A and B are shown apart, each in its own frame.
Chain A
Amino acid sequence: MSAQDNRNSTRIAFHQSVNFTFDGVKYTGFKGDTIASALIRNNVKIVGRSFKYHRPRGIYTCGIEEPNALVQILSEHNEPNIRATVKQIYEGLEIESQNRWPSLENDLGSITSLFSPLISAGFYNKTFMRPRGFWKKVYEPLIRKAAGLGKPPKPFKTTSTQLHHHVDIVIVGGGLSGLLALRSLAKTKLKILLIEQDSYLGGILKNSNKISTIENKNNDSWISEVEKEIEGSKNIKVLKNTLATTYNYINHLIAIEDLNTGTAPLEGNVDQILHKIRAEHIILANGHIERLVSFRNNDLPGVMLTGSFEKYIQRYGVIPEKNPVIFSNNSSSHSLIKKLVDLNCKPKAYVDSRSGDKIEPDLLEIIHKENIPLFTNAHIEGCDGGKQVQEISVRDSEGMITKLKSKMLCVSGGFNPDVHLFTQSKGVLSWDDNYLTFKPDRSYQNTIIIGSAGGLFQYSKLANDIDTKLGFLNQEPIVKIDFKLNESDNYAIEKLWETKHEKESRWSKSFIDLQNDVTTKDLRQGILEGFDRIEHLKRFTTNSMGTDQGKISSINALGIVSEILDKKVSEVGTTIYRPPYAPLSFASIAGRSTYNFYDPERKTPIHEWHKKNGAIFEDVGQWKRPWYFKNHSEENLYQAVQREALQVRKYAGVLDGSTLGKIEIKGKDALEFMNLMYTNNFSKMKPMSARYALMLGEDGMIMDDGIISKINDKHFIATTTTGGAANVLSHMEEFAQTEWPHLNVYMNSVTEQFCTFNISGPNTRLIMEKVFKNIKFDNESFPFMTFNNFDYLDSTVRILRASFTGELGYEIYVRPSIALKLWEDLFYFGKDEGLIVYGTETMHLLRAEKGYIIVGQDTDGSVTPQDMDLEWMIGKNKKDFIGKRSLTRSDTIRSDRKQLVGIRPVDQKNIIEEGQHIILSSNVKPPVKMLGHITSSYMSPNLGHSFAMAVIKDGKKLIGSKVFVSSSSNDAFEVEIINPIFIDKENKRLVS
């Protein structure tokens, strides 16, 4: 008894052999074979071990619904859990079976089968609790090691890409119904996309023997004619090897295309395409799936679904076993019986659970003609045979058991319309009492379902079905299709979900979910324990939670549950079908948007100069900002910052501040608008002057800050923090458009229209005078916080006198195209005056020495201007501005809120760390009461000791007192609370 080729199959290249290995053993198949069909050809019966009980498992189906035959692909980065029934072989393919040790034949894990009565559904919730402590150290690690199917894969950098489609029609499924629909719509000139999961079109036309001829042609000819008709059509596109996985709202499909069917993947080449399809109408023609029947040991290798057995013969050119026993509760096995007779491998017996008078006369005729042993009103009690089927027990209507010796049992429990995508589209189902399954009842989106996907199982009605549903698209009516069938046009089925065991033992099992080892006993136990809601039962038993989502068994479970509860199946309902339809690779979801394309690197025009001059960069949002500059390769962050900070205050330094946001605001009502957006009163500001301003949220908390330059009452330029730029602009637009649309004001980002150079230090004036020869920089000509436009080369620059370091300084705004030239000019003339470049870390230190806050560092969304000692920035006599009202709520007017202060260690050897907390004593034994935290902390070369800024409860009143600061080495040291301005308290240098 063994497998035999069927060389009539036209989709296997019998002249091209392909070598591959499985568990180290070399096998040969043919081009076009899947791993499953090739293994079947080689009589490999066992391909894996089940999840919980480690029972030997074989190939159960011939498609994506496969629960058992999951293998690991060693030659593709150890990709786990691949369906052997879908993956095509190629020369050199190396695969390994999963979940077994040391080998598939002899798996130590099968010991768990002995304990199976103890490890039924939900057992882990009732045990592993004692002794305490064992859960963490013993039980859980063991459970985790036993869990999982495949081994983890090797690292892999994705090579998938994504494509968008916008079409009028998508047809999911290139089978009989899909092709008929496509052909009838071809002349409408609508843009149509047909997606088919297999490498060939045809569906049951190529996968089965059900249709002898269609429109008087054989199946292959009919398919090629349709393909020829649409070939070259500009408005029709066909995607093969493409599986629709997800139906999203609205009218949106995700489908995954495999570019390497039957070929080895090439390193670096695109291997998958994730298609994102938006359509006006989606036609679901994705057919139906066969389901199993539960009986004793229905999981043994040698049990296979009937339709799948037929597909191996028809599509893959291999008869898995000659003379199988065929068992059914419905009319569909006729075509297989006919095929086996034609191939001289007639079945050993045919067992039908229906009574003789219900069975189709044509079917009975061939059985009698070929002398095939027939059992009616009978069913399978169980199979036996150790590691594979050897003997099949048939029980007749009187309860008598007949044992048949056979290595193969084909089972059909009926058909389920494939409703995954339909329910994902938010459509609802109803129960069909005739076909004993759920079918689509009401669509929600523009979803049309045709053929068996919609619960239609009569060939003679197909033409009408398609015409009725697609008529509104001006399709060419089909009217009638000439079928010559190898089975009855009227599919008929009788209810049979499971059969009783002859001997009930604690170990006997009828499986419902093969992948998760869920038995019908588990379902009963769950219901006994009170899990009679189907969602609870699913989670308790893990039924249908495997990678196959219970495609061949979930409806059976509902049938069984409905019988136990004596409820209608429609009352029991189904669990939600979760996308994706079949597991979808992470790589394809990530597509191109990883690694180099994860997020753009935003750089300033001076970036290359920074790199050449020793810059180490930090990420601030998407920007790359110089963090510090290494003077020589050995210099570290601390040394660089100490050097840079000294230099700036002694001579001069320049910072590339181009990343800070800049927004231009214009309009007749710009002044009124600015007064509403910021705390300050800009009314009395002179034109061409600037002011430091605060922006609050409506909750009164500091949101952002910046410098507002007023050109005139109708024209302002605002700067923002680097990270806050986009938020500030959106915030302005929101209020301008929705709250005060009557104001004539408009704004735009000009962040990338100007580079900003912040130059400061005692020698700045000297340098500026050399670079800009015609500008007067003395105090009277160019006062502090004023700005103007000046010529530079053949362009214009804007120079604002302001600085964030507390030294004499200027901000230069220059067009990007000449920015580098100006930067280099600054250094050309400034080098002799001691000009250096500095980075963000030094900038932080210098501003902290002046007690200037950084929004997002010293603030965290929970501090008001008063908390930061910036009350003076609130315009007096301003009736309203965003956040004003919130400042006088009961919690915000408290005088003991957290307030900004300076901190200095009592013993100057101690270094204060950012993020540490202010506490009352040196006792750090928790819980310790915290008064506040250190927001910014630095070692200052200009001061000669470490210092910090902090927010402390009632801080203003505590200035002068001593407290403690915790440290990361779990102790605390004494500090003094002081005024937060550490250098040049009178601000003499700024206005010098």
Chain B
Amino acid sequence: MFIINCPYCGPREQCEFTNGGEAHVIRPSNPEEASDKKWSEYVFFRSNPKGIYFERWVHSHGCKKWFNAVRDTSTDKIFKTYEIKDERPSLTDLENNNLTTPSGEPDVGSGNFTVKKS
């Protein structure tokens, strides 16, 4: 169970929060003009990367506020949390985790292998 730094309350245990899926998903401003396909993208289709992922959390057992986070899904390391109204942070600011191939394992931190990669 990791620690999440709620922008409003500070660092708290992850079980106080509920995950809210992908961040920065845009709801079409004119739904009636969206095609069935475009609408389905908003309702159902989401990114699912192994690596840097922009997601939302809500502090359900705390301030009940929603916020965004940048987390590496290959190691669970959270790089940053930021308010809903903020812009998506640029990736160049974030630490590199050596995830060199799309489905590969990072050098360290996934827990899926024990011996150092040569």
A positions within 8 Å CB-CB of B: 248-250, 252, 278, 419, 423-424, 426-431, 438, 441-442, 444, 570-571, 573-577, 698-699, 730, 733-734, 737-739, 741, 879-880, 884-886, 889-890
User: Are B116 and A250 in contact (CB-based, < 8 A)?
Assistant: no
User: Are A879 and B32 in contact (CB-based, < 8 A)?
Assistant: yes
Q: List B residues 39-74 near A (Cβ within 8 Å).
A: 39-40, 42-44, 56, 58, 60, 64-66
Q: Which of B43, B56, B117 contacts A699 (CB 8 A)?
A: B43
- Measured between C-beta atoms, what is the minimum distance from A900 to chain B in Å? 24
Residues of A within 8 A of B32 (CB): 879-880, 884-885
User: Are A248 and B1 in contact (CB-based, < 8 A)?
Assistant: yes
Nearest residue (CB) in B for A891 is B36
Residues of B within 8 A of A734 (CB): 20, 58, 66
19 CB < 8 A contacts A-B: A250-B3, A419-B114, A423-B111, A426-B75, A426-B109, A427-B108, A428-B107, A428-B114, A428-B116, A430-B116, A444-B75, A444-B109, A698-B42, A698-B43, A730-B18, A734-B20, A738-B56, A738-B66, A885-B34
- Measured between C-beta atoms, what is the minimum distance from B111 to chain A in Å? 4
Of B58, B60, B75, B114, most buried by chain A (CB within 10 Å of CB) is B114
Q: Which of A252, A278, A730 contacts B58 (CB 8 A)?
A: A730
Of B31, B58, B84, B117, most buried by chain A (CB within 10 Å of CB) is B31
Assess whether B2 is interfacial by the CB under 8 Å rule. Answer: yes
User: Are A426 and B115 in contact (CB-based, < 8 A)?
Assistant: no
Whole-angstrom CA separation of A428 from B58 in the bound complex: 33
User: Are A886 and B43 in contact (CB-based, < 8 A)?
Assistant: yes
- Measured between C-beta atoms, what is the minimum distance from A786 to chain B in Å? 32
Residues of A within 8 A of B114 (CB): 419, 423, 428-429, 438, 573-577
With A250-B2, A426-B108, A733-B66 already in contact, the answer to whether A441 and B36 are too (CB < 8 A) is no
With A423-B114, A426-B110 already in contact, the answer to whether A737 and B65 are too (CB < 8 A) is yes
B positions within 8 Å CB-CB of A: 1-3, 13, 18, 20, 27-28, 31-32, 34, 36, 39-40, 42-44, 56, 58, 60, 64-66, 75-76, 84-85, 107-118
With A426-B75, A428-B113, A429-B114 already in contact, the answer to whether A889 and B85 are too (CB < 8 A) is no
- Measured between C-beta atoms, what is the minimum distance from A700 to chain B in Å? 9
The 4 A-B pairs at the shortest CB distance, nearest first, are namely A885-B31, A426-B111, A428-B116, A737-B66
User: Are B76 and A249 in contact (CB-based, < 8 A)?
Assistant: yes
Q: How many A-B residue pairs have CB under 8 A?
A: 97
Of A574, A577, A698, most buried by chain B (CB within 10 Å of CB) is A698
Residues of B within 8 A of A698 (CB): 42-43
Of A423, A428, A431, A734, most buried by chain B (CB within 10 Å of CB) is A428
User: Are B58 and A249 in contact (CB-based, < 8 A)?
Assistant: no
User: Are A576 and B112 in contact (CB-based, < 8 A)?
Assistant: yes
Whole-angstrom CA separation of A570 from B117 in the bound complex: 9
With A248-B1, A442-B108, A741-B85 already in contact, the answer to whether A431 and B31 are too (CB < 8 A) is no
- Measured between C-beta atoms, what is the minimum distance from B37 to chain A in Å? 10
User: Are A441 and B56 in contact (CB-based, < 8 A)?
Assistant: no
Residues of B within 8 A of A739 (CB): 27
Q: Which of B65, B76, B115 contacts A570 (CB 8 A)?
A: B115
With A426-B109, A577-B114 already in contact, the answer to whether A738 and B84 are too (CB < 8 A) is yes
Whole-angstrom CA separation of A570 from B116 in the bound complex: 8
Residues of B within 8 A of A426 (CB): 75, 108-111
Residues of A within 8 A of B27 (CB): 739
User: Are A733 and B108 in contact (CB-based, < 8 A)?
Assistant: no
- Measured between C-beta atoms, what is the minimum distance from B46 to chain A in Å? 13
Nearest residue (CB) in B for A428 is B116
Q: Which of B2, B20, B31, B115 contacts A438 (CB 8 A)?
A: B115
- Measured between C-beta atoms, what is the minimum distance from B83 to chain A in Å? 10
Q: Which of B31, B36, B84, B115 contacts A884 (CB 8 A)?
A: B31
- Measured between C-beta atoms, what is the minimum distance from A621 to chain B in Å? 16
- Measured between C-beta atoms, what is the minimum distance from A225 to chain B in Å? 38
Of A249, A573, A576, A698, most buried by chain B (CB within 10 Å of CB) is A249
User: Are B112 and A885 in contact (CB-based, < 8 A)?
Assistant: no
Whole-angstrom CA separation of A896 from B26 in the bound complex: 33
User: Are A730 and B60 in contact (CB-based, < 8 A)?
Assistant: yes
- Measured between C-beta atoms, what is the minimum distance from B63 to chain A in Å? 11
Can you name 11 extra interface pairs (CB under 8 A) apart from A570-B115, A885-B34? A423-B111, A423-B114, A426-B109, A444-B108, A576-B112, A576-B114, A738-B20, A738-B56, A739-B27, A884-B32, A889-B39
